Amino acid sequence: MDTVETPERPVIVCEDLWKVFGDRQVDIDTVIRDRLGKDEALARHQCVVAVSGVSLDVKPGEIFCVMGLSGSGKSTLVRHINRLIEPSAGRIFIDGQDVSRMAETELRRLRNERIGMVFQNMALLPHRTVRGNIGLGLELRNTPRDVRWTRIEEILSAVQLEGWGDRHPDELSGGMQQRVGLARALASDPHVLLMDEPFSALDPLIRRQLQDQFLDLSATYRKTTVFITHDLDEAIRLGHRIAIMKDGQVIQVGSPEQIVLNPADDYVEAFVQGISRLKLVTAGTIMEPLTDRTPVNDHDDAPSVTPQADLDRLIGVAVTTDEPIVVEDNGVRVGVITKKTLLLAIQGHN
């Protein structure tokens, strides 16, 4: 993924977010106060910790993937952002507004006007046509009919469903139904998209096609997106950054390259062991920054690549020369990659 420029203020902020389920409020408060882990909270207070002290931020236009196994807390976390689930403690901000303290009327307006959500189960209304499902949010906002229909046709084209607007959900394949769900979320032009494993129930080929389409739509509409998945390959393919969750906690947050090259612990390392580095790791992530003492300065005929060159490209260059590989950014030498550095990157170390 390309790097997202970082403005001063993120769109979404979660501060020390907790969700604890229990019969007695005093037990819930004790779990949070003592910052107990999942096993200890259950053993000592018969409480279930679903989200445990999570703090994170999401930048404008970023696809922020939250990945974890079943029961890790990822779906519970995303439902806190629009307060479909009430937090036990902590705060949530969207565009600087404290969602955790909004009154019900203000919260409904936020959900209707500024947040779109796409679930694994599309929850399409069976009695409505594709157009009717896509335009539901616009109807709830009392958008004039002509404006609504123009927007629906625009979105139908964007998700490649022209000609299907008069069909009902039961006439569509699973992949097409999911496109309708995505179109419905986009139709109201929300600032934020929350996507909870939207492609996980689809066949691999259809899933990849929808991932491609989602990336194209993201490039066009630049929505700030929180994308939940249990599939690290999907997170790496889609995400600008990835948060790895376990037992309600965020274990690591970083770019796909950072997650794969520098796993925070054995749990994360186990996830990334099967990930191919050939298209993920780039020259810029493994190069040694160039200094006056770097030997490559003596090799004017050394081959060069850009910082974006991936391992596949670097291997192709390395087999043609005995020289180190120079990394050039806009004509300026910025780093060097030796054979040893390249081999370590292929092996999985940096």
What pLDDT, in 10s, does the model give residues 21-37? Answer: 999 999 999 999 999 99
The total of structural domains in the chain comes to 2
Residue 333: domain span: 283-347
Would you say 217 and 224 are in contact if contact means Cβ atoms under 8 Å apart?
Answer: no
336: helix, strand or coil? strand
According to DSSP, the residues that pair with 282 across neighbouring strands are 310
Please give the structure tokens belonging to residue 293: 């003492």
Residue-wise pLDDT for 297-349, tens only, equals: 566 778 989 988 888 889 999 999 888 999 998 888 889 999 898 888 877 65
Would you say 63 and 222 are in contact if contact means Cβ atoms under 8 Å apart?
Answer: no
Measure CA 163 to chain center: 31
Determine the Cα–Cα distance for residues 183 and 130; give it in Å rounded to an integer. Answer: 10
pLDDT band at 3 (very low <50, low <70, confident <90, very high): very low
Determine the Cα–Cα distance for residues 290 and 276; give it in Å rounded to an integer. Answer: 27
Shared domain check, 201 and 132: yes
Determine the Cα–Cα distance for residues 294 and 126; give it in Å rounded to an integer. Answer: 66
Shared domain check, 128 and 208: yes
User: Which residue type, as a one-letter code, is found at position 201?
Assistant: A
Shared domain check, 295 and 204: no
Where does a domain end: 272, 293, 314? 272
Measure CA 8 to chain center: 20
Shared domain check, 237 and 93: yes
The strand order across the sheet containing 115-119 reads 115-119, 192-196, 224-229, 63-67, 241-246, 249-254
Would you say 190 and 113 are in contact if contact means Cβ atoms under 8 Å apart?
Answer: yes
What pLDDT does residue 8 have? 65
Residue-wise pLDDT for 43-60, tens only, equals: 999 999 999 999 999 999
13 occurs within a structural domain: no
194: helix, strand or coil? strand
Would you say 75 and 119 are in contact if contact means Cβ atoms under 8 Å apart?
Answer: no
Determine the Cα–Cα distance for residues 208 and 115; give it in Å rounded to an integer. Answer: 25
Residue-wise pLDDT for 174-230, tens only, equals: 889 999 999 999 998 999 999 999 988 888 888 888 999 999 898 889 999 999 999
- The contacts of residue 108 (CB under 8 Å, 6+ apart) are none
Global pTM?
0.82
Shared domain check, 87 and 140: yes
Shared domain check, 294 and 242: no
